[in-house]
Amino acid sequence: MVPSDRYDAVFDAAVDTARDAGLPPLVRDRTAGVIETETRIAGSLLEPWLWGEESLAQATENTLLFQRRRARIEFSPEVPASARLRGADRPLPEPGVAGAAATPLDLRSDSGPLEVRVRVFVERAFVPNLNMSSYSRILSTRYSTPLDPAEETWTPVGRDRAWEARILADLGRRMNLVAVAEDGRPSS
């Protein structure tokens, strides 16, 4: 949980945490509380200089499959436990009407505590229109059209929960350091 009065400092710490993890921020929306990072090609056994946070098992998987990772860090208002457990007697909220002006979310003016969520997505490259030969790799063919010159398509295949935990732990350490810098004494 992040107190609303420390939101700006923790947001900046989250940007620095993502950058230090090898995922430079691409989108930083302080109002909505979203940080999207650039993608990072995963290191394989043949490319140890690209290793970052990968384990040996992940490096082996990256050797066989061309993969990359990207992260999304989200800040959102804390949902009270009473609101999480919705009773049958309470109706669901109405969906928003397209084109109607809704009040935009602005976390800088929120007064309650905020939750931080980190998601690291694993994406795998696929070559479209590839006909693999079972006899020899040389006999594999690929057809293409002038309208679709894409060499590869990236598809999300999972999440890297270990890397998510490391980013959250590093952010927790930085939040404590931010509290020391603001207050002059460590926070509990």
DSSP H helices in 47-105: 56-64, 81-84
Global pTM reads: 0.73
Neighbours of 179 (CB within 10 A): 18
Per-residue pLDDT of 97-123, as tens digits, reads 655 555 666 777 777 888 899 999 999
Percent share of the chain, pLDDT over 90:
23
Q: How far apart are CA 8 and CA 10, in angstroms?
A: 6
Q: Quick one: how far is CA 176 from the chain centroid? A: 22
Per-residue pLDDT of 47-72, as tens digits, reads 777 666 677 787 788 788 888 889 99
Per-residue pLDDT of 124-181, as tens digits, reads 888 776 666 676 666 666 666 666 666 778 889 999 898 899 899 999 898 886 665 5
